[in-house]
Amino acid sequence: MIQLAQFNPWMFMAGCALLTFVLLKRSYRYFGRRSKSNSTAIERVPRPSSQWDGAHRDTLAQVERQKVEMYEMSRDLNGQLSSRIIVLEKLIAQSQQQIERMEHLLEQNEAVK
């Protein structure tokens, strides 16, 4: 049988340190190459605080947001205009009735004289 030499703790510690150094150097090379080849990292974007904050970075989304706001404003203005047109038409109809009534009264007044 082969006899083992006397156990030397300093040699064991030196061997562990050398092994750790080699493994760390290898892993550093591997991960270093991997991060260098992947130069386009994902940009970290903070969570939006309002509904449209996240879209401010994207120009197309901002244009679309403005289109939606313009469409909503046009719908609102069309509704206001149509309600005012209806009221105006009713007032015109009432004034026309008043004109016809006054003409009729004038005709009756002319007939009485």
pLDDT per residue over 97-113, tens digit each?
Answer: 999 999 999 999 999 87
Q: Is the pLDDT of residue 26 over 50?
A: yes
Query: Regarding predicted confidence, which is higher, 65 or 7?
Result: 65
Query: What mean pLDDT comes out for the span 14-18?
Result: 93
Query: Regarding predicted confidence, which is higher, 32 or 77?
Result: 77
Q: Which residues of 41-70 are buried (b: 16+ CB within 10 A; e: fewer)?
A: eeeeeeeeeeeeeeeeeeeeeeeeeeeeee
Per domain, the residue ranges of the chain are 9-36+58-112
Please report the pLDDT score of residue 19 as a whole number. 93
Q: Is 44 helix (H, G, I), strand (E, B) or coil?
A: coil
**What separation, in Å, do the N-terminal and C-terminal C-alpha atoms of the chain show?**
154
